[in-house]
């Protein structure tokens, strides 16, 4: 997965994500949307183009920090699922 920053102004971050499809992008969007620090999270995935992700946070919130928080929550959920699967 390669990330490329397109725009980062105040509380708005727009970036490209190479090598990913709807599975990860939708998971990240959903997790970001659940955080109170996020005003808007979405991605655009058009055929023959690199996916673009958009995040706008509340004022004075850093989108990069908020994306990292969402990533940590995704990891926690995956770890919990793996533990449950191992008990079966």
Count up the domains in the chain and report the number: 1
| C-alpha dist (Å) from residue 18 to 43, 69, 83, 87 | 13, 21, 30, 35
User: If pLDDT is split at 50, 70 and 90, which confidence band does 18 have?
Assistant: confident
How many residues in the chain?
Answer: 88
**69-83 pLDDT per residue, tens:** 999 999 999 999 999
Q: How far apart are CA 54 and CA 47, in angstroms?
A: 18
- Tell me what the pLDDT averaged over the chain comes to: 93
65 CB burial (10 A radius; 0-12, 13-18, 19+): exposed
- The alpha carbon of residue 9 and the mean position of all alpha carbons in its chain are separated, in whole angstroms, by 17
pTM of the model: 0.87
Return the CATH number at 29.
3.30.1360.10
The sign of the dihedral angle between the CA atoms of 18, 23, 26, 29 is: negative
């Amino acid at each position: 997965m390669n990330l490329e920053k397109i725009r980062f102004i105040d509380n708005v971050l727009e970036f490209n994500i190479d090598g990913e499809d709807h599975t990860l992008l939708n998971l990240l969007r959903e997790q970001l949307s659940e955080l109170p620090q996020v005003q808007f999270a979405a991605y655009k995935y058009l055929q023959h183009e690199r996916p673009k992700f958009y995040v706008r946070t509340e004022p004075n919130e850093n989108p990069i920090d908020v994306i990292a928080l969402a990533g940590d929550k995704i990891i926690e959920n995956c770890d919990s699922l793996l533990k449950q699967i191992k008990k079966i």
